[in-house]
């Protein structure tokens, strides 16, 4: 996804900064990382409070295979499919990501 597309996706939250990282991109708002793009998939930050809401909406948590073959779960979740066609719904999810980033401090 190009940076203009990312900025449009997060417009309901406000301006974002996109930085290259880990072969993908990190998306920041007000200096806090709120999302990552990995393998052409946008993943939003979540925590113990917001993860159940992501799961209930059918989102999946990002995990990778660790050194011992066990999955390592990361605090990032896929965006529910219906949000891609609804700017108001997308705004809800990106705000949840920012709230999780604030709580991470």
Mind listing the pLDDT tens digit for each residue in 67-81? Answer: 888 999 999 999 999
User: Which residues span the domain enclosing 27?
Assistant: 3-95
Domain membership flag for residue 44: yes
Other CB atoms closer than 10 Å to residue 58's CB: what's the count?
A: 10
Domain membership flag for residue 51: yes
Q: Which residue has the tokens 């799961």?
A: 55
Domain membership flag for residue 69: yes
Domain membership flag for residue 103: no
Task: Report the domain count for the chain.
Answer: 1
Domain membership flag for residue 32: yes
Say which residues have a Cβ less than 8 Å from residue 54's Cβ, sequence separation at least 6. Answer: 44, 46, 61, 77, 78, 80, 93, 96
pTM reported for the whole predicted model: 0.92
Domain membership flag for residue 70: yes
pLDDT at 40: 87
- CATH number of the domain residue 64 falls in: 3.30.1460.30
Domain membership flag for residue 20: yes
Mind listing the pLDDT tens digit for each residue in 78-99? Answer: 999 999 999 999 999 999 999 9
Confidence class for position 39, pLDDT limits 50, 70, 90: confident
């Amino acid at each position: 996804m190009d940076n203009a597309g990312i900025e449009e996706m997060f417009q309901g939250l406000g301006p974002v900064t996109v930085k290259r990282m880990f072969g993908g991109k990190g998306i920041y708002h007000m200096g806090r990382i709120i999302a990552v793009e990995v393998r052409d998939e946008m993943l939003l930050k979540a925590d113990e409070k917001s993860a159940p809401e992501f799961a209930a909406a059918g989102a999946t948590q990002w995990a990778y295979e660790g050194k011992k073959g066990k999955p390592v779960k990361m605090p990032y979740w896929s965006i529910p499919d219906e949000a891609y066609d609804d700017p108001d719904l997308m705004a809800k999810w990106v705000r949840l990501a920012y709230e999780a980033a604030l709580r991470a401090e």
